[in-house]
């Protein structure tokens, strides 16, 4: 009896010092016709692959229908350790439940979480998520366009032990939004607010070599990293999808377990400015200040990253470069954040500071895999203090 009571006390103590922490997340977007599958998702099976950061013994999945005008009906969802292409390790497959049921219907504009599922999730592994859709699906699904990872579609219902007979491939994620694990209260978790450079434009499809992935690897799989970058996204207005000032609450503040926020965004605002570069630069500083204050109030540390060079790209003008330099100077001198990550200093060409080193970029705006590797390893050193 005494040993039993001691065990109960130990278990309660462990639970008291545990919390839900994100191991993977992506920013939800409205899906235009050009980013939808060739055929409807109705009565089809979708297999999606994600690269988690920290491991855990139990997890839950968040599904999003936030940007759709009608509900989405899902017959079942199961997860498994990913193998090659769309194959899985069958013995690892487990069905998720939603309030005890395998099926779930997500109303328009809403999200749902699965029940917690015991699962041996390993740090930095690839996880397969298979969604079997029902009759009702939106014309425009809620998605993340820049998955940099191939998703696979087959007709009918997929089951773990049967071969997944893919009839279509798309490089987008649909409906999946986040994966949380039970972790200790002290588990580090970094959320990154960004644009296409963070989203991984220029990285290698299915190689998981965006800079946040490389940072997670450099941190040894002991730190959760949540990539909330969106290609073409702006901080203030314009750009693709909701600007950061509008999506900040949902994409950053509502994530679970975040201890540190990295803000690396602004190049699309500057590159898209037309005769008002100085005003845009000033508004960017105001937005950064607001983000920092909100994150600090939630107990997060905040790191600001400098904007990388873009001479050689169509974004470049002397006025845009002046705005970039102005914002970067402010980032380096401000005392509001808990630190900075000077990506500009890391990648600029010493012979032409308005331009990136040629080895790091193929289009003079986004980085290539070598550039992302350098960024990820550098950011890991800055955030870990090593």
Taking a C-beta distance cutoff of 8 angstroms, is the pair 383, 260 a contact? Answer: yes
CB neighbours of 139 closer than 8 A, spacing ≥ 6?
36, 69, 70
What are the two backbone dihedrals, phi and then psi, of residue 217, each rounded to the nearest 5 degrees? Answer: -65, -45
* Whole-number pLDDT of residue 18: 78
**Dihedral sign computed on CA atoms, order 250, 251, 253, 258:** positive
* Whole-number pLDDT of residue 6: 37
- Per-residue pLDDT of 157-204, as tens digits, reads 999 999 999 999 999 999 999 999 999 999 999 999 999 999 999 999
CB atoms within 10 A of CB 40: 14
* Whole-number pLDDT of residue 17: 60
* Whole-number pLDDT of residue 1: 46
What are the two backbone dihedrals, phi and then psi, of residue 124, each rounded to the nearest 5 degrees? Answer: 65, 20
Taking a C-beta distance cutoff of 8 angstroms, is the pair 140, 88 a contact? Answer: no
List per-block mean pLDDT (blocks of 10 residues) for the chain, which spans 386 residues. Answer: 39 58 98 95 98 98 98 98 96 98 98 98 98 97 98 97 97 98 95 98 98 98 98 97 98 98 98 95 98 98 98 97 98 97 98 98 98 98 86
CB atoms within 10 A of CB 125: 17
Buried b (16+ CB within 10 A) or exposed e, 129-160: bbbbbbeebbebbbbbbbbbbbbbbbeeebbb
Give SS3 for 371: helix
- Region of 69 please: left (phi>0), alpha (psi -120 to 50) or beta: alpha
Q: Tokens representing 68? A: 């759709």
The CA distances from residue 87 to 165, 262, 285, in Å, are 10, 34, 46
* Whole-number pLDDT of residue 281: 98
Q: CA nearest 198: which of 311, 296, 341, 317?
A: 341
* Whole-number pLDDT of residue 227: 98
CB atoms within 10 A of CB 12: 10
* Whole-number pLDDT of residue 9: 36
């Amino acid at each position: 009896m005494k040993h039993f009571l001691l065990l109960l006390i130990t278990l309660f103590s462990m639970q008291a010092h545990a919390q839900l922490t994100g191991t993977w997340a992506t920013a939800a977007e409205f899906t235009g016709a050009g980013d939808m599958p060739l055929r409807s998702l109705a009565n089809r099976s979708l297999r999606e692959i994600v690269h988690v950061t920290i491991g855990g013994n139990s997890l839950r999945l968040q599904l999003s229908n936030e940007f759709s005008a009608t509900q989405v009906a899902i017959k079942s969802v199961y997860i498994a350790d990913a193998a090659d292409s769309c194959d899985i390790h069958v013995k690892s497959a487990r069905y998720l439940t939603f309030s005890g049921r395998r099926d779930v219907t997500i109303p328009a504009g809403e999200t749902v979480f699965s029940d917690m599922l015991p699962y041996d999730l390993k740090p930095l592994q690839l996880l397969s998520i298979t969604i079997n859709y029902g009759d009702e699906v939106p014309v425009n699904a809620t998605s993340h366009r820049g998955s940099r990872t191939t998703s696979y579609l087959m007709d009918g219902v997929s089951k773990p032990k049967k071969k997944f007979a893919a009839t279509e491939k798309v490089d987008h994620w649909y409906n999946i939004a986040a994966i949380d694990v039970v972790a200790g209260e002290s588990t580090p978790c970094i959320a990154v607010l960004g644009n296409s450079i963070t989203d991984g434009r220029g990285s290698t499809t299915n190689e998981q070599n965006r800079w946040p992935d490389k940072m997670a690897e450099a941190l040894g799989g002991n730190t959760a990293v949540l990539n909330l970058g969106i290609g073409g996204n702006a901080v203030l207005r314009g750009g693709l999808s909701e600007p950061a000032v509008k999506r900040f609450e949902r994409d950053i503040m509502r994530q679970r377990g975040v201890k540190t926020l990295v803000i690396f965004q602004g190049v699309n605002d500057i590159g898209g400015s037309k005769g008002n570069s100085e005003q845009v630069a000033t508004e960017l500083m105001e937005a950064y200040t607001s983000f920092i204050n909100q994150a600090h109030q939630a107990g997060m540390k905040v790191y600001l990253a400098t904007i990388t060079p873009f001479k050689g790209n169509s974004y470049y003008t002397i006025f845009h470069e002046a705005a970039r330099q102005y914002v970067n100077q402010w980032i380096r001198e401000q005392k509001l954040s808990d630190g900075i990550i000077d990506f500009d200093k890391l990648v600029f060409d010493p012979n032409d500071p308005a331009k990136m080193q040629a080895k790091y970029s193929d289009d003079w705006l986004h980085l290539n895999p070598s550039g992302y590797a350098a960024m990820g390893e550098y950011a890991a050193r800055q955030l870990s203090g090593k």
